[in-house]
Amino acid sequence: MISAIVPQFFTTDLARTLVYYDAKLGFETQFKYGQPPYFAGAIRDQRSIFFRLVDEAPSFAPNKYECELLDAYIIVGDVALLFAEYRQRGVAFHRELAAMPWDFTEFVVKDIDGRLLCFGQFSEDVK
Average pLDDT of the residues in 89-95:
96
Average pLDDT of the residues in 26-53:
97
The distance from CA 112 to its chain's CA centroid, rounded to whole angstroms, is 10
Whole-structure pTM value: 0.92
Query: Does residue 47 sit in the same domain as residue 76?
Result: no
User: Is 23 within a domain?
Assistant: yes
CA atoms lying within 13 Å on the CB side of residue 88: 7
| Percent share of the chain, pLDDT over 90 | 90
Q: How many domains does the chain have?
A: 2
Domain range enclosing 30:
8-53
For residue 97, is pLDDT > 90? yes
The CATH number for 80's domain is 3.30.720.110
DSSP single-letter state for residue 124 = G
Q: What's residue 105's pLDDT?
A: 97
65: confidence class by pLDDT, cuts 50, 70, 90? very high
Decide the pairing of beta strands 93-99 and 116-122.
unpaired
